[in-house]
A and B are shown apart, each in its own frame.
Chain A
Amino acid sequence: MITPMIVFQNVSKIYNPNVVALDSLDFKISPHEFVSIVGRSGSGKSTIIKLLIGEEKPTKGRIFFDGIEVTKLKSTELSSLRRRIGIVFQDFRLLPEKTAYENVAFALEASGRPQSEIEELVPQLFEMIGLKNKMSNFPRELSGGEKQRVAIARALINRPDVIVADEPTGNLDPINTYEIIKLLIKINELGTTLVLATHNKDIINSLGKRVLSLDEGRLIRDEEQGRYTLS
C-alpha cells in the first residue's frame, strides 16, 4: 500500500472562544493526486494550509505528511517539512526589491544550496514557466500572471512533493487564470501532488479532478471528478 501524501485525521481548529475554523476534518490525499478544495471565504481552506505547513497547530486531531506527523514536529524540524511543500498565494508574495531571478534564487539560498547549483537551476525553471526573458525584471515590471508564474517557480525550486496553491488565480483575468491552471496541471503531470484551494467555479468544472467541498469548517462532499456545486 502506498503511504498517503497528506492525511487529516479528525482535525479541528477552534479559535477562542468559539470560532470553529475546522470541524472534525477527515481526508487523505495520495501521491501525484490533483485535489481541489472548494468553499466560500471563511470555510476553512486557508486554515487547512496553515495547519499542513505547521504554521498553526490543530486544537484536536492529527495531521500526517508522507508518514510524518506534522503536529509533533519541533520548530527546528518544520523548515525541512516546508521545503517539501511549495506554496503559491493569491497575492504572489514576491519580494518587491528583488528581481524575478533573485526571488526564486532566494528560496535556494535559504536552504543553503551552493551558488553554482542556484545558477544552474533557476534559469531552467524560468524556461519551464516561459519567462526566461524576464528573469532580471522586478515584480512591479511584471503582469499579474507573470508574477504568479514566478511565484510558482519559487514554490517549485526546492523540488517539493506537494504544491499547495491558495486561490492562485484570484487576482488574475480569465486568460491568465487559464495559463496558470495549465501550468499547475503540467506540474502535476510531472509527478508533484497538487492541492488547489479556490472558489472559481469554472476552473473546478473544467478540471474534472477530485474535489473536497468545505462549508463552515466541515467537509460536506468528497468526490472524484467533482463539480462545483456550492450555491
Chain B
Amino acid sequence: MITLIFRIIKYGFVGFIRNFWLSSATLAVMILALIVMQGLIIFGTIAKTSLVSLQDKIDISVYFKTTAVEDDVLKIKRALESLDEVKTVEYISREEALIQFKTTHKDDPTISQAVEELGENPLSASLNIKAKDPKEYPAIAAYLNNESISTLVDKVTYSQNQLVIERLTKIIDTIKRGGLVLIFVLAGIAVLVAFSTIRLAIYSNREAIGIMRLVGASNNFIRGPYIAEGIMFGIVAGLISVLIFLPLASFATPYIKVFIPEMNLSSYLLMNFWSHLGTQLGIGIFLGVISSLIAIRRYLKI
C-alpha cells in the first residue's frame, strides 16, 4: 500500500515537472486567485478592527435637569444596567462635570471667570451609556423616552457617529460582497485552467493509461497521479501566494496604520502565519483536487 502511494506521488510529480510550462500557467492563475482571497481575508480583518474602533466611540449621553435628585439618577442608572442591550453606564455627577469642564477650559480665563461668577454649578449630571451593538442605540433611546424618566431628563444626545458607522458598514458589506464575487470568478477560472492542464496531461498520457489498464493497474493507480498533480498545484500555488503576499502586506502596513492606528498588518500576519499559510494551502489543495476530479471523471475512462 505504501509502495503504491509512493509510486502514485512519484508519477504525479513527474507529470507536474514534465508539463512545466503548462503547469506554470495553471499555477499563475491559481496564485492570483489565492492572493485575491488573502486580500479579502485581510480586508475583512481590517474592516472589523476599524468598525470596532469606531463603534467604541459612539454612545448615548443623557443630561438630567439640574433639579433631578442624585438617587433618582442612580436608580435610572441601575435600571439601564439591567437592560440586555447595555454594555456600560457611566455616571457623571454635577460636581464631576464641573471639574471636567474646568479642566477643559482652564486656559480660557473668560469661561472660568463666568463660571465663578455664576456662583452655583450650572452643569447637569449625566449618564454615558454604551450599547453592546450599535444597532441597539435606537432601542435604548426609546427606553429613555419613557415618561417616568423623561420628566427628569434635560436632553439626550445620540447618533452623531451613527450615520458614519452606518455608511462604513454599508461600504464594507458592499466591498466584501464584490470581493466574494471576484473570488468565486477567480476560483472558477483557476479550476478551469487546472482542469485543462490535467485534461491535457491525461490526453498526452493516453497511451500509457491504455497500457496501464492492459497490465492490470488498479483504478486508483491510474487515477492517483493526476490527483497528486492537482494537490501539488495547490501546495505550490499556496506557498507562492503567501510568499508574494507577505512583502505586499508589509509594504502596505504603514499606510493602513494611518487610517486605523490599532491595526499593524505585518505583525498581525506574522502572528497568524501558520493558520494563514494553512488556509491558503487548504484552499489551493481543494481547488487542485476539484480540478483533477472533474478532469478524471470526464476524460479518464477506466
Which A residues are within 8 Å of any B CB, using their own CB? 53, 55, 75-76, 78-84, 87, 93, 95, 106-107, 109-115, 154-155, 157-158
Contacts and interface: CB of A to CB of B under 8 A. Distances in A.
B4 A79 contact: no
Contact of B219 (A76, A106, A157): A76
Nearest to B213: A82
Contacts of B4: 112
Interface in B197-218: 207-208, 210-218
A79 B211 contact: no
B216 A79 contact: yes
24 contacts: A75-B302, A79-B217, A79-B218, A80-B216, A82-B214, A82-B215, A82-B216, A83-B215, A83-B216, A84-B216, A87-B214, A93-B211, A95-B207, A95-B208, A95-B211, A106-B211, A106-B212, A110-B212, A110-B222, A112-B7, A114-B3, A154-B215, A157-B215, A158-B215
Nearest to B211: A93
Which of B207, B217, B221 has the most chain A CB atoms inside 10 A of its CB? B217
A81 to B, nearest CB: 8
Interface string B252-293: 000000000000000000000000000000000000000000
A81 B218 CA distance: 11
Contacts of A155: 215
Interface residues of B, number: 19
Contacts of B215: 82-83, 106-107, 110-111, 154-155, 157-158
Given A75-B219, A75-B302, A93-B207, A112 B214 contact: no
A214 to B, nearest CB: 22
Nearest to B214: A87
Contacts of B214: 53, 82, 87, 93
A68 B72 CA distance: 94
Contacts of A114: 3
A82 B211 CA distance: 11
Interface in B16-40: none
Interface of B: 1, 3-4, 7, 207-208, 210-219, 221-222, 302
A110 B207 contact: no
Contacts of B211: 93, 95, 106
A158 B211 CA distance: 14
Given A109-B7, A112-B221, A115-B3, A93 B216 contact: no
Nearest to B14: A97
Contacts of B218: 76, 79, 110-112
A110 B216 contact: yes
A115 B3 CA distance: 8
A119 to B, nearest CB: 13
Contacts of B210: 93
Contact of A112 (B3, B222, B302): B3
B302 A110 contact: no
Contacts of B217: 79, 110-111
A115 B2 CA distance: 12
B252 to A, nearest CB: 47
A104 to B, nearest CB: 10
A110 B10 CA distance: 12
Contacts of A115: 3
Contacts of B213: 55, 79, 82
A154 to B, nearest CB: 7
Given A55-B213, A82-B216, A93-B207, 4 more contacts: A75-B219, A76-B219, A81-B216, A83-B215
